[in-house]
Structure 1
Amino acid sequence: MNFDEYCQQKAAPPGSSTYYAVRQAPAARQPLLTALFALRREFEETVKETSDPAIGRTKLAWWQKELAALASGNASHPVAKALAAYLPDVQSEYPALQALLAGFEMDLDQARYLDYPNLRRYVQAVGGTFATLVARASAKEPAQVESWAAPLGEALLLAQCVVETGNDARHGRIYVPIDEMQRFNVTAANLINRHYSDAFTELMRFETKRARDALQSSVAAVPAGERRAQRTLLAQAALALALLDEIERDGYQVLHQRIALTPIRKLWIAWRAR
């Protein structure tokens, strides 16, 4: 298996939302975008699917060394090799890649957040940094992307937190701020034990609205001159909005299942987002 095949299987297998979002980009940009999504998936698996924080830190330390090797031209991991092959300037993106890794490291430091400002620091570090990397990969003016790409990435991660509420809780992570859970009289045990109630519905309605509002405002902020070049991010946003609508229609039944769109619907939504 070559590094392109590895990245495809890791991040964007056929039928996945990432697959359809990446396919909206020009063909020449798709390998780089797939590699970036694969790197994010590697980091995510390291912190969210490793039960022992010590092992997670060891793996992240390895990735820190691998990013340094990538910057020096000695990458060994298939994803790093793909980035070496497709990133036009590895050195210039090295700080952002380090920042993304540091963002995911926050998952090893805390699994719950006192309030939204605390959660937002995580959302900015992971979602904002990643979307900026993706935007620069296709942007007409890469130096200008952070002001609008970072908020879009944050919104995408907020939507992901809604979608993954149940799955995250089962793995010991709750991205709903503690003060908001208290406001709606929902406990961590309710989420972990998959306990639905009117209070939970109201809490999820609040979380979903925040994610939807953030998505809509950040999509509107993408400059007209960049919209064609940013079809992958715009497709992701359209897919996220459709999924939030589906979750709402299903009564926010996200604790015992992962609600998803069908592949044909993903294809249609991503295509329309162009």
Structure 2
Amino acid sequence: MDPDKYCYLQIAQKQSSLYYAINLLKNNQKKILSASYALSKKIEEIILRKNITIASYTQLSWWRQQILNINTIQNNNYIIQSLEKHVQQYPRIKEILIQYIDKMENLIEKKYYHNIEDLNNNYWNSNILIYKIFEEINNSNNNKTFELELNKAITMTKIIRNIGRDKLNGNVYIPIEELDNFNIDLDEFLNTKYSEKFINLIDYQIQKTLHIYEETINKYSSEDLKINTFHISITAMYYELLQELKANKRVILENFISLNPFRKFWISWISNIRNGQNLINKIKS
């Protein structure tokens, strides 16, 4: 199979928000980001295993070596084969991918974060990887402060959505400082189901994240929106997801809440053709 096609099929199966945003890009951009995203999913599958063993570190080390040695040794892995030609064109992609693997490996040992700065500095996910590679291949001079703030909001949205799964794995991605503000200790957070304190904590996380989306989007000019349609389409999908989480916050632990594929496609498509005006209208309504 053609390596680029393999990577695209891998991300198509996930039906994630990133897939729908990537799908609207130019062909070369789509290939680069599809390969990068396919790699990120392989890494995340290793990290998300409930019982981390020496095999997990070994597998991460294998992927790291494949990236370090890319273009120097023959490789039969489709993802690496797809990335090879892209790294030749954009050499710094290699550095970004290694940084991503290193950050993800740190998550194995780092089970909690002291404050929001600690979280922002150390917690990576596929959205952050794709953001950095997108910026690299476009040599973007856009206002990166806005985009970084939106990535923080997207990260928090994913943390809120995944809170039940992460608790089962013993992972706490809500900062300890914020747990303390609601008089919830680490054991209580990991071992209890619902309480009013817990619901209040989730509501605070949702409101805080909504505020980041809204404050950041309101700073964009019309021209900013036009040249940031990729970021805006992803943001629009996650903003809509956060609204769903808000409406279903009392069942977050038992249910994996997501938007259906058609809804993701529609939000991404309309964001792209309207330069994000749909998101602006929703925020201002």
TM-score calculated relative to the size of structure 2: 0.82
CA distance in 1, matches of 2:130, 2:15: 22
1:58 aligns with 2:58: yes
CA distance in 1, matches of 2:234, 2:125: 19
Q: 1:110-162: CA deviations, max 9, x gaps?
A: 1111222221212368754541212333x3x4366755544433332221111
Taking a change above 3 Å as real, the CA distance of residues 222 and 12 of structure 1, as seen in their structure-2 partners, is farther
Partner of 1:239: 237
CA distance in 2, matches of 1:143, 1:84: 26
Q: Map 1:98-247 to 2 at 5 A.
A: 98-123=98-123, 128-137=128-137, 139=138, 141-142=139-140, 147-193=145-191, 195-219=193-217, 227-228=225-226, 230-247=228-245
Partner of 1:251: 249
Query: Which deviates more from structure 2 when the two are superposed, residues 177-186 or residues 229-238?
Result: 229-238
CA distance in 1, matches of 2:222, 2:41: 30
Taking a change above 3 Å as real, the CA distance of residues 131 and 61 of structure 1, as seen in their structure-2 partners, is same
Partner of 1:264: 262
Look at both structures and tell me which one has the larger radius of gyration over its CA atoms.
2
Runs (5+) with no aligned partner, structure 2: 273-285
Query: Which deviates more from structure 2 when the two are superposed, residues 233-242 or residues 51-60?
Result: 51-60
Q: Residue 34 of structure 1: CA displacement?
A: 1.2
Question: RMSD of aligned C-alpha atoms?
Answer: 2.8
Contact 1:70/1:90, CA 8 A, preserved across alignment: no
TM-score calculated relative to the size of structure 1: 0.85
Q: 1:191-248: CA deviations, max 9, x gaps?
A: 5456122211111122122333333445556686664454333221111100000110
Taking a change above 3 Å as real, the CA distance of residues 87 and 130 of structure 1, as seen in their structure-2 partners, is same
Taking a change above 3 Å as real, the CA distance of residues 251 and 80 of structure 1, as seen in their structure-2 partners, is same
CA distance in 1, matches of 2:7, 2:19: 11
CA distance in 1, matches of 2:269, 2:94: 32
Contact 1:10/1:38, CA 8 A, preserved across alignment: yes
Q: Percent identity?
A: 20
Runs (5+) with no aligned partner, structure 1: none
CA distance in 1, matches of 2:126, 2:19: 20
3-state SS of 1:255 partner:
coil
Contact 1:127/1:150, CA 8 A, preserved across alignment: no
Q: Residue 185 of structure 1: CA displacement?
A: 2.8
CA distance in 2, matches of 1:94, 1:28: 17
Q: Residue 176 of structure 1: CA displacement?
A: 0.8
3-state SS of 2:32 partner:
helix
CA distance in 2, matches of 1:268, 1:191: 36
One-letter code aligned to 1:94: K
